[in-house]
Amino acid sequence: MPYYITDEAADCAGWATVKDDGEVMGCHDTKQEAIDQALAIAQSEGSSYEGERKKKQDYKRDLPDAYRPATSEDVPEGRACGNCAFFDESNLDDEGRAFCTRWDEYVEGGWYCDAWEPREGEDRQVDLSVPSYIREAASQGVEYHEEGLSGDGVVPRTVSEARAMARGEVSEDKVVRASAWAARHRPDLDADGARPDEDGYPTPGAVAHLLWGIPTGSRYDDAVAWFDRKAEQVKADRSVMMVTPVEPRAKGSKAEFRSFEGEIRSEGDGNTFVGYAAMFNVPSEPLPFIERIAPGAFGKSLRQRSKDVRLYINHNSDMVLASKRSGTLRLTEDDRGLRVEADLPDTTAARDLKALMDSGVVSTMSFGFTVPRGGDKWSGDGMERTLTGINLHEVSVVTGFPAYPQTTAAVRSLEKLSERTGIAVDELTEALDALAEGEELDPAKADLLLNAIKESTPKQEANSAEMIALKKKQHDLLAKKW
């Protein structure tokens, strides 16, 4: 059992050494004397010293804005605190209110506090009630950080999230990231001073763990198991974007690809394919940065009537199922993401795909894209990327068969032109899209396309017909430019 020190023990005037269950082991005049006893007992029993037990008010938070009489018109029936999973009727205050363990406050049973037991057969979100030992770890981490013990690698966001965790607040995104972070940083605890009963405690690595809500003593495994379990529940509760690691994009960069586990089904006579190639506002797995797609990111690309997009199997351009230009592929953005609907052809590949879908084997879609200039935003610490604009090149059903080269004919063509002219794929895409939409080209885009035409023109002496055609192209571009 872990040991703590506290200056709030009822039987001690000063500092006390206490067990995890609150039993007082000794009273002391100074804080250091209490620490010395806690360390000695922990070492003799093979347990751990977990530091100062935080005062209850350190975790206290204001009741949520949602807290109001459950009889209010906008409160769903049966959503009173008395129905709440966190309503502890064994702990009453002088006014007869019960303690709400979610909010660390006494609440009225007939009020609405935004936390309740789910109705029978009702889906519920993942319960992210933060265990007390995780809250205490986060609070201790903030305290150590403020003392300058966290080193140089801690970013402000981690500290902010630790403060929230100490209040009992944690997001789904945070538990997914914390699970991955803990797995990567476990070796940090091999250093001397990383554990509470070791000389030199706490090391910067230990403080970092505490800021992530992970005590490095006896509750380490419990905390990691909690984050792992909640991360799996979050992933099961929603579609999670599965991505391949990419570096921040640079001039001349290649197309990127993303895959999603999600909804894929057939409709009608079974020959209409429906699925989602992308989901909005869904965090990726840590890369280590987190990536999301903002609603509307595909809008401009989908509005380009002249631009063809095809549906493939496994990104293989030899296994085409449908195309936007032929009308057999319909792409729309809804409130969930990029919805794909296609009329499947009577081909062996399509029939095999239908069989795989019917058996539940296939559940993944992917899309290939480039990002135009200004189409993504990075957080200040470089740990989050939001895609706000996407040039969509293709969508694919991923069967799990060995992957084909992940490029399409359209992307390969642009890449060849990029290599030949030295102009970035993104810049070419942006300029060609503007031209296809009939927009007036700004001088920079017009010059870019003129240079591309010039670099792609054979160097040998052209005949008069070819020269006239080239001059006409240049004239048309210049007309758009001006």
Per-residue model confidence as pLDDT tens digits over 369-420: 888 877 888 776 667 888 999 988 889 888 754 332 333 334 445 555 666 6
Cα–Cα distance for residue pair 37/258, rounded to 1 Å: 55
Residue 221 within any structural domain of the chain: no
Say if residue 298 is in the same domain as residue 428.
no
Residue 422 within any structural domain of the chain: yes
Residue 217 within any structural domain of the chain: no
Q: Quote the number of domains for the chain.
A: 3
Say if residue 474 is in the same domain as residue 330.
no
Say if residue 298 is in the same domain as residue 439.
no
Domain boundary among 381, 407, 433: 407
- Tokens standing for residue 184: 């990567």
Say if residue 402 is in the same domain as residue 453.
no
Closest Cα to residue 58, out of 170, 179, 139, 172?
Answer: 139
Say if residue 457 is in the same domain as residue 325.
no
Cα–Cα distance for residue pair 26/36, rounded to 1 Å: 11
Residue 168 within any structural domain of the chain: no
Say if residue 320 is in the same domain as residue 392.
yes
Say if residue 452 is in the same domain as residue 401.
no
- Please tell me the predicted confidence (pLDDT) of residue 338: 92
| Residue-number span of the structural domain to which 441 is assigned | 413-481
Across the 482 residues of the chain, what is the mean pLDDT of every consecutive 10-residue run? 81 85 85 87 78 56 67 70 71 80 75 57 64 91 91 80 88 82 85 90 93 93 88 60 38 59 71 87 69 90 81 83 91 91 88 78 80 78 81 83 34 57 65 61 72 64 57 55 42
Domain boundary among 390, 407, 424: 407
Say if residue 398 is in the same domain as residue 466.
no
- Tokens standing for residue 367: 């899309």
List, edge to edge, every strand of the sheet that includes 376-378. Answer: 290-293, 384-387, 376-378
Say if residue 357 is in the same domain as residue 309.
yes
- Tokens standing for residue 192: 């001397």
Say if residue 369 is in the same domain as residue 275.
yes
- Tokens standing for residue 263: 């909804």
Residue 395 within any structural domain of the chain: yes
Say if residue 272 is in the same domain as residue 314.
yes
Cα–Cα distance for residue pair 283/172, rounded to 1 Å: 10
Q: pLDDT tens-digit profile of 191-218?
A: 899 999 899 999 999 999 999 999 999 8
Domain boundary among 382, 407, 432: 407
Residue 121 within any structural domain of the chain: no
pTM higher than 0.75, yes or no? Answer: no
| Paired strand residues for 68 | 112
Say if residue 378 is in the same domain as residue 297.
yes
